[in-house]
Amino acid sequence: MLAYIYTILWRSSMQPLAVVFILLALHAATATAAETNMLTPEQAAEGWISLFDGETLFGWQPTSKANWRVERGAIAVSEGEEGFLMTTSQFADYELHVEVQGFLGTNSGVFLHAPLAPKDPAKDCYELNIAPASNPFPTGSLVGRVKSAQMALSNTINAGSDVPADSFDVRVEQEAVTVVMNGGKPLKYLDQMPLRRGHIGLQFRAGPVSFRNIRLKPLNLQPLLNGKDLAGWNADEKRASKFEIVPSPEASGSFPLEGREPEDSNDAPRGRDALATGGAPSPRDSPGAKESRPLSAPLTELKVTGGSGQLESEASFGDFTLQFDCRVDGDGLNSGVFFRCIPREYMQGYECQIHNGMKEGDPTQPTDFGTGAIYRRIPARRIVAQDHEWFTTTVNAVGAHIAVWVNGRQVTDWTDPRPANENPRAGLRIAPGTIALQGHDPTTNLRFRNIKIRELPGTAK
């Protein structure tokens, strides 16, 4: 769209200087819109992923003919058939942050743990409602389940084009759903027949509505490394590679790591913990806020050098969310994390590529598929990570669908179209398989930490 506008302006009779000013303004507006939806480095390191990049609908799918679009850094809709814009990915337990711009008369919602075609929000999903005060379940309620008593906190009760967006921090964990609207008191709901996983959906029903700053943090991932040795891993195929647990140079630093207790761990629950305990989070400690307290536990890393060779998990995983931190200690080196591998066979799985090279300095032109790609299947849409710096990767695999985020930015959204086959190199494999870390060649030199995974329960239809 911007390219088209540029062409029209240059072909117009406007003075060149005026055209330049307009183009600069357009660039600034586009950059601001994208930056509004970007994660901070601290959020990315904590495992948050962005579900909306501020520029495209990548990672989303409409279920009806409505005019879903990106407008001023938000996902907007105003007319068309009732329906949803659904994430292509499914998620289990998580924290979710979303900001919703509604108006008087708007009836919409954010659907949680939803199938692609939800029928009854009291049974097959959780609907965080966006609706007038006259609605039986006004803004902030869970439709058919619990009514919010804090409609007065909603900004949509004040009509006007400059109405601030309503901010929601949601925690969905096992049987508990907790909603905090605009920093108010948590609304808590316990489901006696809890839903286990599903899509996140944005609803169009009546009136214009827009959504921005949509980010999610998967919960309850379990570590695959114990920080001491390679227990739980098989090194029979290490071949020419060396896999070793080494002390981290950052062991005395302060940065967020899952499972590490802060020195002042006796403090009262704050921030995202307050969502689970019922305490209202402060703005500084809302979900995604930086954890800067010192960490007392020693840190270790898994160092991989040389190759080729692999280190394979003893456990197998089918549908899962996997997160890991990686650092490439070289320029343009190649490696990968394999998943759904045929157990005890050499690198027979899907490969989440690790390669931070790009063509002619263009991050949209990866070298050798690029970090976050599914190697030989689909390239990463953008290089986000850099060599000699830690980056966090999230892999979400459900059935034939695979999505990958690097530093919280989605770079891959792919559904394997191939016929079923035991070997992912030859076809679709949805059966559980092992995780394997690759030592690619003699130049391999990289480190891993915070490797953790969650097998996803249940099935969303």
Ranges assigned E (strand) in 88-228: 94-101, 107-114, 126-130, 166-173, 176-181, 187-190, 199-206, 209-218, 222-223
Element (H, E) at 3: helix 2-11
Question: For residue 150, what are its two tokens?
Answer: 């804090």
Q: Quote the pLDDT of residue 103.
A: 82
- Please give the chain's pLDDT, 461 residues, in tens: 444 344 344 345 555 555 444 444 444 444 566 677 899 999 999 999 999 999 999 999 999 999 999 999 999 999 999 999 999 999 999 999 999 998 878 999 999 999 999 999 999 999 999 999 899 999 999 999 999 988 778 886 654 556 689 999 999 999 999 999 999 999 999 999 999 999 999 999 999 999 999 999 999 999 999 999 999 999 999 999 999 999 998 764 433 333 333 333 333 333 334 454 444 333 333 333 333 333 333 489 999 999 999 999 999 999 999 999 999 999 999 999 999 999 999 999 999 999 999 999 999 999 999 999 999 999 999 999 999 999 999 999 999 999 999 999 999 999 999 999 999 999 999 999 999 999 999 999 999 999 999 999 976 54
Helix or strand or coil: residue 119?
Answer: coil
What are the backbone dihedrals phi and psi of residue 179, each rounded to the nearest 5 degrees, phi first? -125, 130
Helices 16-36 and 2-11: crossing angle in degrees, nearest 10, is: 170
| Residue among 426, 238, 239, 453 at smallest CA distance from 350 | 426
In this prediction, residue 420 carries a pLDDT of 98
Please tell me the predicted confidence (pLDDT) of residue 29.
Answer: 45
- For residue 99, list its beta bridge partners: 167, 212
pTM for the predicted model, two decimal places: 0.85
Separation in Å, CA 1 to CA 68, 71, 172, 407: 15, 12, 37, 27
Measured in whole angstroms, how far is the alpha carbon of residue 53 from the centre of its chain?
11
Nearest to 186 by CA among 265, 95, 261: 95
Q: What is the pLDDT of residue 16?
A: 55
Q: What are the C-alpha distances in Å from 232 to residues 71, 225, 424?
A: 48, 8, 23
